[in-house]
Amino acid sequence: MISDTHTLVHLCSFQEWQQFAHDGQRRPPSLAESGFVHLSTPEQVRLPANRLFAGRTDLVLLWLDPARLASPLKWEPGVPGDPESMLFPHLYGPLPVAAVLDVSPYRPGSDGVFHTPRRPGVAPDTTGL
């Protein structure tokens, strides 16, 4: 299940992104704890954002090219509260900075809820389809 944009996203703080850009790869705690880096499709990222980062305003989305990921990528179930049959991409190795296509702020809406983001530079769909 690849999103329509054929990109994946990784959610982190701006400070974590700065460190990642300097280091050349990201090794979040989940890599040591669970063996993988959590990724999402753009359509999915609102779920973990609302569950884990409610109220945060320092987050960024790293827009990733899956073809530039050097480690195995597996699609696996999320947490039990996620929609039935939803699989999330898990990267079984560090996330290379070379896979990052764009970086964008990710803030909750005026309702305090994170919504589905749009990739920077991509115009909204106005066709009504």
Q: Are 120 and 83 in contact (CB under 8 A)?
A: no
pLDDT tens figures, 63-113: 999 999 999 999 998 877 777 668 999 999 999 999 999 999 999 999 999
pLDDT tens figures, 22-36: 999 999 999 999 999
- Token pair belonging to 111: 């309702």
Q: How many CA atoms lie within 13 A of 125 on its CB side?
A: 7
pLDDT at 6: 81
For 35, 67, 77, 86, 105, the CA distances from 81, given in Å and listed in that order, are 22, 30, 11, 10, 26
**End-to-end Cα distance, the chain:** 20
Across 116-121, average pLDDT: 85
Looking at the domain covering 8-105, what would its CATH class be?
A: alpha beta
CB atoms within 10 A of CB 44: 22
- The whole model's pTM is what? 0.86
Q: Which residues make Cβ contacts (< 8 Å) with residue 44, sequence separation at least 6?
A: 78, 86, 88
pLDDT tops 50 at residue 127 = no
